[in-house]
Amino acid sequence: MESIIHLADRHPQVTVEELVAGLRPSPRFGEVSFDSYIPDPNQPTQAAAVTALRNFAASVGGGKSEGGFFGKLFGGSKNNAKDKTAGIYLDGGFGVGKTHLLASLWHAAPGPKAFGTFVEYTNLVGALSFRKAVDMLSTYKLVCIDEFELDDPGDTVLMSRLMRELADAGVKIAATSNTLPGSLGEGRFAAVDFKREIQVLADQFTVLRIDGEDYRHRGLPAAPQPIDDDAALEFAQSRYPGRVISEDDFSTLIEHLSTVHPSRYRQFIDGIDVMVLHNVHTITAQNVALRFVVLADRLYDRDVPIIASGAPFDQLFTEEMMNGGYMKKYYRTVSRMTALAREGTLVTADES
């Protein structure tokens, strides 16, 4: 007999120990490798990225760079030209496999090592204090940051300082984003006021551009149409017998998200096998949309099939949002939610 739960009733609490223990790839990427990444033969940058990351993995644990971070920033010694940058940065559109490659790097590199999303690191700093977070992460050989996005000035300065100190300690850094490091923050806030901090980050990365189309939709049909609302739960129960199903009204859920810090969204959906969403509609408030982006990423990490009624997911955000400063985030979310909705509607009971 399946269990029905309501996410709107959940208020997860996360300890510092749980935050630290969670700095590893999600279950979706728990066993990936460079060998399991299949480059598109029509996109040579994908195979080149695999080669570069294999070499980068082999360099992890090599110790502090000559001259250190501040040496590179302010001119330093004559030998600084020989210094290697502190990190590697995977830039490309959504769906080209950046997170797969970042997780493969994490699996291939020696430990201790950390893997987390941008918001998880900022929350770690908040939970531990900046100095304690630096002290802890400085003992790691590799720090991987997925979904690197700077949405406000405070985070820009925070991550700039964190990168500085980790690089000085000899920690290798790898990150993924849909935005080149020198362009982080554009269209979101007064980036010109924080150009120095943004440039400090950009200077620390070797950028690997990964071209290609969204692998989640190569040669596949369009997103499935939403289910009739009265039939959504019954549909989920018939397709996924014996599973834990979350059932929520979309409006109630997105309102409840404002009471749960995004860094807790992993625990928020813990134990859920299938999601049923009633009456999906277009989100019109930017802050609500950004919170839903984080939830969508965590659902995708956990590979949670979605059965939804209401508007299709390609209408999840307004046209203005889809063309604004956060457009790459929103396109990623539409892509991922469409993939999960396709999985939810097309999987048969035998396949489940």
At 128, which CATH number?
A: 3.40.50.300
Q: Are 167 and 42 found together in one domain?
A: yes
Give yes or no: residues 200 and 334 share one domain. no
Instruction: Note whether residue 17 is domain-resident.
Output: no
Per-residue pLDDT tens for 133-184?
999 999 999 999 887 765 666 776 787 788 888 988 999 999 887 554 455 4
Residue at a domain's end among 213, 233, 261: 213
**Count of domains observed in the chain:** 2
Of the residues 213, 239, 262, the one at which a domain ends: 213
Question: Are the beta carbons of 298 and 265 closer than 8 angstroms?
Answer: yes
Indicate whether 202 and 223 sit together in one domain: no
182 and 251 share a domain?
A: no
| Shared-domain flag, residues 240 and 209 | no
Q: Please tell me the predicted confidence (pLDDT) of residue 309.
A: 96
Decide if pLDDT at 269 tops 90.
Answer: yes
Domain that holds residue 104: 31-213
Position 24 in a domain: no
- Asked if residue 163 is part of any domain, the answer here is yes
Q: Is 20 part of a structural domain of the chain?
A: no
Residue 311 counted as domain residue: yes
54 with 194, same domain: the answer is yes
How wide is the angle at C-alpha 252 spanned by C-alphas 273 and 329, nearest 5°? 70
Q: What is the mean pLDDT of residues 270-293?
A: 95
State whether 308 and 285 are in the same domain: yes
Overall pTM > 0.85: no
Where residue 2 falls among pLDDT bands split at 50, 70, 90?
low
Final residue belonging to a domain, choices 213, 241, 261: 213
**Residue 21, in any domain of the structure:** no
Q: What is the pLDDT of residue 352?
A: 36
**pLDDT-wise least confident of 86-95, 172-181, 311-320:** 172-181
State the pLDDT confidence band at 18, using cuts at 50, 70 and 90.
Answer: confident
Q: Could you give the angle at the alpha carbon of 257 between the alpha carbons of 102 and 318, nearest 5°?
A: 80
Distances, alpha carbon 155 to alpha carbons 94, 168, 209, in Å: 23, 20, 24
pLDDT digits (tens, 9 = 90+) for 28-62: 899 999 999 999 899 999 999 999 999 999 999 75
